[in-house]
Structure 1
Amino acid sequence: MQVVSFFAGAGGLDLGFEQAGFNVVWANEYDKDIWATYKKNHPHTVLDQRSITEIDASEVPECDGIIGGPPCQSWSEAGAQRGIDDKRGQLFFDFIRILEAKKPKFFLAENVSGMQHTRHANALNNIKQMFKDAGYDLFYQMMNAVDHGAAQDRKRVIFIGFRSDLKVDYKFPEPIDKTEKKALKDILLDLNDSAVPALDKQKPNPDVKFLNHEYMIGGFSTMYMSRNRVRTWDEPSFTIQAGGRHAPIHPSAPKMEKVEKDLFKFVEGHQYRRLSVRECARIQGFPDDFEFVYNNVAAGYKMIGNAVAVPFAKAVALSIQAHLAAAQSQQAA
């Protein structure tokens, strides 16, 4: 089945769908700092580099599904939470505009958990209604990537819709068994001693021995030091964020000590470093040959932190595939 992808970023969602057997034939991404990375790792996908606001639905290829994660900064709990009042939040409308015109069998839209905040209730209800008015049966759920094969706690709101005439009664995939959930030791141990620091001004380090295995240097903000940022080898990672300065600390260091309310410190006598770009990519489920192209390591962290965790995307894609096949069989009978 053919899908098109909006707000593709580095292509974590796209890669998960490809691993599930879908063919991502066309993608749209407006951020010029991502184009080289997307093209290098998705050579068979046509990349449209315009803003979605400039794209007419007639220019989008015919497809079985439309997927994407409209920019989340305006909904984020860590941000100003302007939601639909922010132009980035309004990009949901363009996603729905194209969806309504193309009428594919299904769609998937992903966003941060912060859009469920009570201040966004009216906007969220409006978006849900617009999906339904576009001709889709809507299924909506908060999901955690750690429950579907990713080695991090990462809660996201997932909208999935099937064209109403298909009569799909969708059920979200069940969480994997607790014994199958991944911890940091399962994916990072072999990289433990090979990371190198970025150069001055966060420039890439040419001495890197493993692709993108360099970490951001510099101090830590008071916001960063307001809570523990270390997960142990036996735990999943904290959410990988888009800002490199807020990358979690490598699990070889002990958990930070609480000094007082909203203030922690590093334990003396131990080395603390941020997770490298490659380590964050592993936590997000990107394969080791997936190359992030950048002139500043901050851009690498941003691409990875804004991506959808690949194993999570694959799990959802497989469930969509199974439901469409079942619906087709039922209609044929």
Structure 2
Amino acid sequence: MGELFSGPGGMALGAHNAALATGVELMHAWANDYDQSTCDTYVANIPGATQATVTCQNVRDYPIEQQSKVSGFAFGFPCNDYSLVGEWRGLDGKYGPLYSYGVRVLDHHNPDWFVAENVSGLQSANAGRAFRLILDELAEAGEFGYRLYPHLYSFEEYGVPQKRKRIIVVGVRKDLDVDFRVPSPALYAGLDVSARTALTVPPVGGNLANNERTRQSAQVVERLDHIRPGENAFNADLPAHLRLNVKGATISQIYRRLHPNEPAYTVTGSGGGGTHVYHWDESRALTNRERARLQSFPDTFVFKGTKESVRRQVGMAVPVKGAEAVFTALFRSFNGQPYPAIDANLAHLVASDRNLARA
């Protein structure tokens, strides 16, 4: 498997876990990301990855055509310009066109399959034009083209203790007699994905890596003392001196406490005061290790870099268990193994029937 925009390795680890579970021999070939600490994390945790195979380089300069041939490809192309939080510039933004480097990989390597990931806002960016264009280019890429299986996944339905919606597009080469089907959440219905279980079973011990606490000012602690589980700085009953002086839109995640009996709200990789995800009981922000738990990374997965770099890596990553669910279904499809799947006509499909038929 080759990978662009690899991040710290959430997609890759999910793929390797799925391979072990389905009897597939999955070998890392190469990966690329632009941030050195992120690449160091990938090398430290992903089987087969080395400093020689994981290149820290702007994708615009990465020699795609010089990489070894791969039969599988993954890419979580940057979501900055498709996120609903931000300017939402889509294809007109700095990062919007970067999906095309994934298309270049498909054109050159003709892998059997690919898995692409992005935020839910992709389906509506540029009045829907961006997503239609991306689907068209993916479907027509390579020597044979690809059958596409786009789906809007709610990862809390697949074992991730976090409410996180992401578009995943699985592509299977058209000349192969393999039909991928979106895995049914019923497979994961019995899992406890509450924030309480994620952060307490087992307890997050102080000796774990990436578990440094953030220093909270006295005012922040006082503010959190007045916010109940599930509330935020705008719907809690705060004294006047603790209210935020914000005009216009109010973001519901600012100083929002987790609710212990529900999946966490979406973990992000950046943002100033009030965006660090807050414990339901203790008046503090979560540690990076706790955020990693909400992203379903195992405690043995050690992130490299400064605390702020690790926060960014955790927030930008694909949740491991979410990726594992998709890759498990994909590998079972190639193995000819049955598995419960969603009826394509009833699924939360993010492309119109016309787009799917054309793909």
TM-score normalised by length of structure 1: 0.82
Local SS of the residue matching 1:249:
coil
Q: Give % identity.
A: 30
Measure, in 2, the Cα distance between the counterparts of 1:154 and 1:244: 17
Residue 70 of structure 1 corresponds to 77
Measure, in 2, the Cα distance between the counterparts of 1:80 and 1:129: 25
By relative contact order (CA 8 Å, sep 6+), the higher-ranking structure is 2
The answer to whether the Cα contact below 8 Å between 1:244 and 1:298 also exists between their aligned partners in 2 is no
Residue 269 of structure 2 corresponds to 242
Measure, in 2, the Cα distance between the counterparts of 1:288 and 1:70: 26
Question: Once the 2 structures are TM-superposed, how far is the Cα of residue 189 of structure 1 from its aligned partner?
Answer: 1.4
Deviation larger for 126-135 or 235-244? 235-244
The answer to whether the Cα contact below 8 Å between 2:32 and 2:39 also exists between their aligned partners in 1 is no
Listed as ranges, the matches of 1:249-264 within 5 Å are 249-252=278-281
Residue 31 of structure 1 corresponds to 35
Closer, same or farther in 2 for the Cα pair 1:275/1:122, shift >3 Å? same
The answer to whether the Cα contact below 8 Å between 1:57 and 1:102 also exists between their aligned partners in 2 is no
Residue 111 of structure 1 corresponds to 118
The AA in structure 2 aligned to 1:216 is: T
- From 7, 10, 23, the equivalent of 1:9 is 7
- From 182, 193, 196, the equivalent of 1:182 is 193
Measure, in 1, the Cα distance between the counterparts of 2:195 and 2:323: 19
State yes or no: 1:280 paired with 2:284: no
Question: Once the 2 structures are TM-superposed, how far is the Cα of residue 188 of structure 1 from its aligned partner?
Answer: 0.8
Question: Once the 2 structures are TM-superposed, how far is the Cα of residue 168 of structure 1 from its aligned partner?
Answer: 2.6
Q: Which consecutive unaligned segments of at least 5 residues does structure 2 have? A: 20-25, 221-243, 338-359
Listed as ranges, the matches of 1:289-308 within 5 Å are 289-295=300-306, 297-308=307-318
The AA in structure 2 aligned to 1:38 is: Y
The AA in structure 1 aligned to 2:7 is: G
The AA in structure 1 aligned to 2:57 is: R
Residue 157 of structure 2 corresponds to 147
Question: Once the 2 structures are TM-superposed, how far is the Cα of residue 191 of structure 1 from its aligned partner?
Answer: 6.9
Residue 109 of structure 2 corresponds to 102
Residue 202 of structure 1 corresponds to none
Residue 231 of structure 1 corresponds to 258
Question: Once the 2 structures are TM-superposed, how far is the Cα of residue 59 of structure 1 from its aligned partner?
Answer: 1.6
Q: Which consecutive unaligned segments of at least 5 residues does structure 1 have? A: 195-207, 253-270, 328-333
Question: Once the 2 structures are TM-superposed, how far is the Cα of residue 118 of structure 1 from its aligned partner?
Answer: 5.2
Deviations 1:115-139 (A, max 9, x none): 1225341111011000111110111
Residue 131 of structure 1 corresponds to 138
Residue 260 of structure 1 corresponds to none
The answer to whether the Cα contact below 8 Å between 1:83 and 1:120 also exists between their aligned partners in 2 is no
Deviations 1:51-73 (A, max 9, x none): 22223333222111100101111
Question: Once the 2 structures are TM-superposed, how far is the Cα of residue 39 of structure 1 from its aligned partner?
Answer: 2.0
Q: What's the Cα RMSD here?
A: 2.2
The AA in structure 1 aligned to 2:40 is: A
Question: Once the 2 structures are TM-superposed, how far is the Cα of residue 218 of structure 1 from its aligned partner?
Answer: 4.8
State yes or no: 1:61 paired with 2:68: yes
Deviations 1:161-220 (A, max 9, x none): 0000013322111113543241112221157685xxxxxxxxxxxxx5321112333567
Closer, same or farther in 2 for the Cα pair 1:239/1:54, shift >3 Å? same
Measure, in 2, the Cα distance between the counterparts of 1:321 and 1:73: 30
Measure, in 1, the Cα distance between the counterparts of 2:266 and 2:148: 27
The answer to whether the Cα contact below 8 Å between 1:147 and 1:181 also exists between their aligned partners in 2 is no
Name the structure with the higher strand share.
1
Measure, in 1, the Cα distance between the counterparts of 2:116 and 2:42: 19
Measure, in 2, the Cα distance between the counterparts of 1:120 and 1:49: 34
The answer to whether the Cα contact below 8 Å between 2:216 and 2:284 also exists between their aligned partners in 1 is no
Question: Once the 2 structures are TM-superposed, how far is the Cα of residue 230 of structure 1 from its aligned partner?
Answer: 1.9
Residue 263 of structure 1 corresponds to none
The AA in structure 2 aligned to 1:291 is: V
Question: Once the 2 structures are TM-superposed, how far is the Cα of residue 225 of structure 1 from its aligned partner?
Answer: 6.9
Measure, in 2, the Cα distance between the counterparts of 1:294 and 1:226: 26
Question: Once the 2 structures are TM-superposed, how far is the Cα of residue 14 of structure 1 from its aligned partner?
Answer: 0.5
TM-score normalised by length of structure 2: 0.76
